A and B are shown apart, each in its own frame.
Chain A
Amino acid sequence: MTEIQAGVGAADTAAPGQVPAIELDEVVKEYVSHGEVVQAVKGVSMTIDEGEFFSLLGPSGCGKTTSMRMIAGFEEPTRGVVRLHGQDVTNVPPNKRDVNMVFQSYALFPHMSVWDNVAFGLKRKKVPDAEVRRRVGEMLEIVDLVGREKRRPREMSGGQQQRVALARALVNRPRALLLDEPLGALDLKLRQHMQIELKRIQREVGITFVYVTHDQSEALTMSDRIAVMNDGLVEQLAGPREIYERPATKFVAGFIGTSNLLSGVVSSVNGSCAVLALGPADRVVVPIKGSAAEGDTVELTVRPEKIIISTEKPDGDLSMVEGTVSEVVYLGTSNSYAVALAGGTEITVFQQNAHDSTTTAERGDTVWLSWQPQHSYALQ
């Protein structure tokens, strides 16, 4: 495989991380729709480092695509500043920005061959012919499309078109590559394959990737850092592990993976932990950031795979609640239990089928759910 370096300027930056590749500073985007002002992005600030695989994750309409389009230059922020490598580009048109984009539906030029598609940007930049030939050739090699140069986009499969779109953007050696749900149109198998491919290509070219997706597992597998967005704001910006294990808000907890939400009134505070009153035999201890006083209502979240299900009341300092199994689902690698608590809350529990796949409990059984207190988080 051929090695490709990031844009010329990238070499000048002394140490990676000194000048962030992309900065959004209090960016707001407003639209006027039917005479009403709608805020698509309500004040977003983030810095994306050189060479980072950065994801904007959120449901549709959360402002992630608008944020990316402001980085690309297709939208002008109503307020705020966009900086690329420290340079204010807020009002610079897309054709003058050193970033390239992979569009959701690829947006390949239907009347051009694969080769002409990939060479388009270099030709517009008036790169000499010999160099265009060399770089396009190298790029097609990286995305494994050698021998298909003369094909038209519509003669290719979705996965191949995807790689043409990627090559067409990467061949320009942009300072950052923006990808707008690039795998959305592919089927599951191909999507998983392309996730690995994208990661490989990103490592190979060392270019900053900004990846927009609504697929949380995609974001978790590929990203160095993730900004979870909702309703025009960033809910949490952190690494995948942090986001999954320590969701900062109720929204993040609900959006990423399956999580169980429990709420209870604080019965006593013990150092950095609060003890919550749930059912009479239950005992729930949760670490709290900030402060909580007796009588406050606290919401906490526990991931289904952290919970142990048992028919006997467990020993030790575990948090534990009692409930009735309302559903058992066999998932192959695991069993999934839905357990209803006395208060009506339903808790999902995953149990790995590591030893055998027999279920611990059946529908209607009374069970105990327990977990390590440090695996639960109070939500702000």
Chain B
Amino acid sequence: MRKLRAALTPYALIFPGSVWLAIFFVVPTVVMLSLSLQSGNVSDGFVFTWNWQSYIDGLTNYHDQIVRSLVYGLAATLIQILIGFPVAYWIAFKGGRNKSFYLFLVLLPFLVSFVLRTISWQFLLSDNGMLLGPLKNIGLLPEDFRILATPYAVIGGLAYNFLPFMILPMYVALERIDPRVLEAAQDLYAGKVQTFVRVVLPLSLPGVFAGVLMTFVPASSDYVNASVLGGTKTTMIGNVIQNQYLVTQDYPTAAALSFTLMALLLVGIFSYAKALGTEDVLEVAAR
């Protein structure tokens, strides 16, 4: 009896999670996959016809938006690494007793809704707003200078909104580095630069890897930043999909585009993991 219970316990523990995933992830995914292969329209209803045309249409019509999304996502991710690493490094090594307070500050923006924060960026960056208005008044910037509706605004918004997801995993990796290991490097004749390049950087890679995953994926499929901060020339694939669902109501194309994006991101992630030597990276991360 006890043996049986011991054997069943692990299954009992994963049961709620499995049910949750089955209902809210597997079922919608299968429904979407089937939807992407259907044909018809909203008024007459959709029928499953192995209609691959939606994929071809999606790729040909929205090729630009797909590429743009990946480029914006990548740019935002790079900016996040450049901003996030020093912050994570500083909190991990120089934060002292106030580490948790600094981490709280990093997470503070999450207390305000994502959309609301993006809208306040729109307010800040508007053509004659708090930032640009005074600069234009004193003649530092030309009258027709704008940030809103440019790629910079969208990429900036993406980088800002997902930054905590980059900082946190990098912080965790850096914080876990035994200070004695850094002393050992110093003891073995490594100066500050060598210690950083040979020890700190390689040991923080799992965190950077996790950070990239956690920011690149949501950033390249995001639609809020592009619709609030962007213009007609900065439309991302997320906007297209949203539009196809809610405005055009061409469900098969929307579903096909979603799957295309998912496939591209998966391929991207796996080749990235391969290039970095996942085995190693994940191994270190798992420790």
Chain A residues within CB distance 8 Å of chain B: 72, 74, 93-96, 100-101, 103-105, 107-111, 120-121, 124-125, 154, 168-169, 172
Q: Which residues of A contact B180 (CB under 8 A)?
A: 103-105, 107
List residues of chain B with CB within 8 A of the CB of A124: 188-190, 194
Q: Does B199 lie within 8 Å of A109, measured CB to CB?
A: yes
Q: Is B203 an interface residue (CB 8 A)?
A: yes
Interface SS of chain B: helix, strand, loop or mixed? helix
Is B190 within 8 A of A72, CB to CB? no
- Chain A residues contacting B203 (CB-CB under 8 Å) are 110-111
Does any Cβ of A come within 8 Å of B144's Cβ? Answer: no
* Chain B window 175-188, contacts with chain A (Cβ cutoff 8 Å), 1 for yes, 0 for no: 00010110111111
- Of the candidates B183, B188, B202, B287, the one whose C-beta lies within 8 Å of that of A121 is B188
Give B contacts to A, CB under 8 Å.
178, 180-181, 183-191, 194, 198-199, 202-203, 280, 284, 287
Contacts of B280 in A (CB 8 A): 111
Which residue of B181, B183, B189, B190 contacts A110 across the interface (Cβ within 8 Å)?
A: B181
Report the minimal beta-carbon distance from B280 to chain A, rounded to whole angstroms.
Answer: 8
On chain A, the residues within 8 Å of B186 by CB distance are 74, 93-95
B98 to chain A, nearest CB (A): 15
Query: Taking CB as reference atom, which chain A residue is nearest B191?
Result: A95
Asked if A103 and B184 make an inter-chain contact with CB atoms under 8 angstroms apart, the answer reads yes
A101 vs B280: C-alpha distance when bound (angstroms):
28
Task: Return 15 A-B CB contacts under 8 Å, by A number.
Answer: A74-B186, A94-B186, A95-B190, A96-B189, A107-B181, A107-B183, A108-B184, A109-B184, A110-B287, A111-B199, A111-B203, A120-B190, A124-B188, A125-B189, A169-B187
Interchain CB contact under 8 A, B187 and A154: no
B199 to A: closest C-beta gap in Å? 6
Centre residue among B180, B185, B188, B280 by max chain A CB count within 10 A: B188
A105 touches B178 (CB 8 A): yes
Find chain A residues with CB under 8 A from B194 CB. Answer: 124
A110 touches B284 (CB 8 A): yes
Which residues on B sit within 8 Å (CB–CB) of A105?
A: 178, 180
Q: Please indicate the chain A residues that have their CB under 8 angstroms from the CB of B191 in the complex.
A: 95
- A108 and B181 alpha carbons, distance in the complex (Å): 6
- Please indicate the chain B residues that have their CB under 8 angstroms from the CB of A154 in the complex: 287
In the complex, what residues of A have CB within 8 A of residue B190's CB?
95, 120, 124
Tell whether A120 pairs with B287 under 8 Å between CB atoms, given A107-B180, A109-B181.
no
- Beyond the given A93-B186, A124-B194, please list 11 additional residue pairs across the A-B interface where CB-CB is below 8 A: A94-B183, A95-B191, A100-B187, A101-B184, A107-B178, A107-B181, A120-B188, A121-B188, A168-B184, A169-B188, A172-B189
Q: Which residues of B contact A121 (CB under 8 A)?
A: 188-189
**Residue ID in chain A nearest B203 by CB atoms:** A111
Residue pair B178, A101 in contact (C-beta under 8 Å)? no
How far apart sit A95 and B191, CA to CA, in the bound complex (Å)?
6
Query: In the complex the two chains form, what is the Cα distance from A109 to B185 in whole Å?
Result: 8
The residue that A74 contacts in the complex, of B183, B199, B202, B284, with Cβ under 8 A, is: B183
Closest Cβ–Cβ distance, residue A162 to chain B (whole Å): 14
Bound CA–CA A72/B187 (angstroms): 8
* Distance in angstroms between the alpha carbons of A103 and B184 in the assembled complex: 8
* Distance to closest chain A CB from B52 (angstroms): 46
B194 CB → nearest A CB, Å: 6
A107 touching B189 by the CB < 8 A rule? Answer: no
The CA of A203 and the CA of B187, in the complex, are separated in Å by 23
Q: Which residues of B contact A107 (CB under 8 A)?
A: 178, 180-181, 183-184
Closest to A168 in B: B188
- CB closest chain-B residue, reference A111: B202
**Closest chain A residue to B178, Cβ basis:** A107
Q: Which residues of B contact A110 (CB under 8 A)?
A: 181, 203, 284, 287
B199–A95 touching, CB < 8 Å: no
Residues of B within 8 A of A169 (CB): 187-188
B202 nearest in chain A by CB position: A111
Q: Do A95 and B189 have beta carbons less than 8 Å apart?
A: yes
Q: In the complex, A124→B190 CA distance in Å? A: 6
Min distance, Cβ A68 to any Cβ of chain B, angstroms: 12
Cα A78 to Cα B284 with chains together (Å): 39
- What separation, in Å, do the CA atoms of A95 and B199 have in the docked complex? 15
Closest CB in chain B relative to A338 CB, distance in Å: 42
Of listed A72, A120, A121, A154, residue having the most chain B CB within 10 A: A120
Residues of A within 8 A of B199 (CB): 109, 111
Bound together, the chains give a CA A277 to CA B23 distance in angstroms of 89
- Cα distance A168–B198 in the bound complex, in angstroms: 16
Chain B residues with CB under 8 Å of A101's CB are 183-184, 187
Instruction: State the CA gap A160–B42 with chains docked (Å).
Output: 69
Given contacts A107-B183, A109-B199, A110-B284, contact A100 B188 (CB under 8 A): yes
Nearest neighbor of B176 in chain A, beta-carbon distance: A110
- CB pair A172 B178 closer than 8 Å: no
Min CB–CB distance A294 → chain B (angstroms): 57
A169 CA to B198 CA, complexed, in Å: 17
Docked complex Cα distance between A169 and B185 (Å):
11
- Scoring B180, B187, B194 by chain A CB atoms within 10 A of each residue's CB, the highest score goes to B187
Minimum CB distance partner of A178 in chain B: B187
CB-CB nearest in chain B for A96: B189
How far does the Cβ of B172 sit from chain A's closest Cβ, in whole Å? 15
Contacts of A103 in B (CB 8 A): 180, 183-184
The distance in angstroms between the C-alpha atoms of A269 and B280, with both chains bound, is: 76
B183/A172 in contact, CB under 8 A: no
Residues of A within 8 A of B184 (CB): 101, 103, 107-109, 168
A72: chain B residues at CB < 8 Å are 187
Alpha-carbon distance between A93 and B188 when the two chains are bound, in angstroms: 11
Residues on the A chain within 8 Å of B188, using CB: 95, 100, 120-121, 124, 168-169, 172
